[in-house]
């Protein structure tokens, strides 16, 4: 495998030798994730949404009244990190906590009307972002990539158990 190179640093001539980095799965995945994240941010710029915020809104639209612990667990977010994330969405008027009618001690999470409208507009932009990526990769390669990423995630989770 040929070594790929990056731009040279100041004071150094020629490209940098990256050693084994380009051959490491984690390195390649992280570089791809960073590139995709930049494209995602551009698509969501009009909505002032980060990926995690959109994910919370999407889950709440599909699961009104979900428990905070269920949402944070589904997204792999620590509860202590989820609370300020949700509080920001609530501050923006996009989501709210409500008492569960069957158990007044429990609080469910819900989208507001503004949150539902925003998530619908953002979803359209995100699907456009996904379509651009799939077009660049080709439909077959995009599906192969999804399947490989699912397998990589499952393999990592098996190692954690």
For residue range 29-55, what is the model confidence (pLDDT) as tens digits?
Answer: 999 999 999 999 999 999 999 999 999
Task: Look at phi and psi of residue 64 and say left if phi exceeds 0, alpha if psi is from -120 to 50, else beta.
Answer: beta
Q: What is the pLDDT of residues 55-77, one digit of tens each?
A: 999 999 999 999 999 999 999 99
CB-based contacts of 51: which residues, under 8 Å, 6+ apart?
Answer: 37, 40, 44
14 versus 11: the higher-pLDDT residue is 14
CATH code of the domain covering residue 105: 1.10.10.10
Average pLDDT, the chain: 90
pLDDT for 118-154, tens place per residue? 999 999 999 999 999 999 999 999 999 999 999 998 9
In-domain check, residue 1 = no
For residue 135, being part of any structural domain is answered with: yes
Q: How many CB atoms lie within 10 A of CB 85?
A: 18
Pairing of strands 16-17, 5-6: antiparallel
Query: Would you state the pLDDT for residue 100?
Result: 76
Quote the domain boundaries for residue 65: 49-156
Q: Residue 19 domain-assigned?
A: no
Predicted TM-score of the model (pTM): 0.81
CB atoms near residue 158 (< 10 Å): 8
pLDDT on residue 161: 55
Please tell me which residue, 105 or 146, carries the higher pLDDT value.
146
Determine, yes or no, domain membership for 34: no
| Count of domains forming the chain | 1
- Where do we find the tokens 């906590």? 97
Detail the DSSP E strand segments found in the chain. 5-6, 16-17, 95-100, 103-111
Flag whether 66 is in a domain.
yes
Please report whether residue 145 resides in a domain: yes
CB of 109 closer than 8 Å to CB of 71 = yes
Asked if residue 21 belongs to a domain, the reply is no
Cα three-residue angle 14-18-19, rounded to 5 degrees: 125
CB atoms within 10 A of CB 26: 10
Q: Is 152 contained in some domain?
A: yes
């Amino acid at each position: 495998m040929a070594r790929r190179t990056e731009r040279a640093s100041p004071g150094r001539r020629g490209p940098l030798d990256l050693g084994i980095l380009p051959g490491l799965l984690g390195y390649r995945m992280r570089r791809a994730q960073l590139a995709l994240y930049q494209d995602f941010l551009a698509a969501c710029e009009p909505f002032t949404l980060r990926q995690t915020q959109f994910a919370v809104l999407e889950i709440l639209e599909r699961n009104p009244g979900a428990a905070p612990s269920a949402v944070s667990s589904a997204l792999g977010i620590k509860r202590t990190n989820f609370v300020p994330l949700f509080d920001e969405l609530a501050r923006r008027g996009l989501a709210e906590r409500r008492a569960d009618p069957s158990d007044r001690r429990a609080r469910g999470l819900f989208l507001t009307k503004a949150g539902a409208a925003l998530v619908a507009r953002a979803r359209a932009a995100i699907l456009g972002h996904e379509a651009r990526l799939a077009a660049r990769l080709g439909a077959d390669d995009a599906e192969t990539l999804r399947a490989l990423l699912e397998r990589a995630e499952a393999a990592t989770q098996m190692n954690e158990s």
